Homo-oligomer: A and B are copies of this chain.
Amino acid sequence: MPELRKDPFLGRWVVYAPERKQRPQEFPMIPLPKNLNAFLSGQESLTPPEIFAVRSPGSTPNKPGWRVRVVPNRFPALRIEGDLNPEAVGFFDKLNGIGAHEVIIETPDSEQQLERLPVDHVVDILRAYRQRTLDLMRDSRFRYILIFKNYGPMAGASLGHAHSQLIALPITPLVVKHKLQASQKYYEEKERCLFEDMLRHEQKEGSRMVYENNGFAVFCPYASRFPFELCIIPKRQSPDFHSCSDHELHSLAEALRTCLQRLSIGLHQPNYNLILHTAPIRHARRNYWSTIEADFRWHIEILPRLTGVAGFEFGTGIFINTTLPEEAAEFLRNVRIN
């Protein structure tokens, strides 16, 4: 059974998942033999049974005919069955490693990448994110659902076939707590939303803006930790990604596709992490406050992994970045995409 342990100094949790040691290290650099790739159409029996799929009418679950397919991770960091059993272990605190760990297979085609798929296909991927969130939210053991994507070995991906991941957690992560606290404090002081103020500042200032459509804005954050880091933010105030309408998912798919294409073309397919920051699950919010609807806004971070994370970053939390976000934004604005 995996377990969650808490660091007594920083309050941060660590997930112990000994079973993930067995995971194959199949880097995209090494082309996979076709018969070993469980994410291909026709290889559905190599994965655990699917939880959700976007399929052609009349096709059968766990058979070909899908565009997007969600399956449990074969090497899960957390286990879906069981109780949390929070307990003190002498001086320390632990929980059973209960949660969900799912893989969103973005396409049956191992040669494709997210940004090269048609907009409607990207919308289907985002609908899978939304559908899985809405389903898992109902589990009272969970407090937070993180959707993320690792692209390339430098970004921690062990498989080259296009996929994202979802992890449902029985705790609210510290990074999320700190963002929630800052947003609330700002709102209490100013009666304004920190995200809205930042977005307006970026739109007015212009030098860090990369892309904008009706629903979303994309910019390089003022204090970007990584060269060419991007933030995608909705223009409508909402703490929850799962509140997106189909229309909004279409605008988001356009924004996401455009930015990832610019990164890919401009920087020669850099490895990256994509992180969807949304509010904690509603029943977990009772620990917080009532202004969250007005003070916190969901958003996406894209972190290109062109540089390593070393001792200084781990020792301080301060990142050293060699590229100013103004330069990065100018470069990305000028990348010509097809």
Contact = CB atoms under 8 A, between A and B. Distances in A.
A5 interface: yes
Interface string A292-332: 00000000010100001111111111111111100000000
B15 A320 contact: yes
Contact of A312 (B89, B148, B225): B148
Q: Is the interface of A mostly helix, strand, loop or mixed?
A: mixed
A239 B154 CA distance: 36
A183 interface: yes
A222 B14 CA distance: 9
A146 B17 contact: no
Nearest to A14: B223
Contacts of A20: 320, 322
A317 B6 contact: no
A312 B165 contact: yes
A315 B194 contact: no
Contact of A324 (B16, B198, B225): B16
Place the interface of chain A in its size category. Answer: 35 or more
Contacts of A314: 273, 275, 301, 303
Contact of A318 (B12, B303, B308, B319): B12
Interface string A154-178: 1111000000010101000111101
A274 interface: yes
A124 B273 CA distance: 41
Contact of A17 (B6, B8, B149, B320): B320
A153 interface: yes
Contacts of A15: 318-321
A271 to B, nearest CB: 10
Contacts of A90: 201, 205
Interface of A: 5-21, 77, 89-92, 144, 146, 148-150, 153-157, 165, 167, 169, 173-176, 178-179, 182-183, 194, 197-198, 201, 205, 221-225, 273-277, 301, 303, 308-324
11 contacts: A8-B182, A8-B198, A9-B182, A10-B175, A14-B224, A14-B319, A18-B323, A19-B322, A156-B313, A173-B318, A175-B317
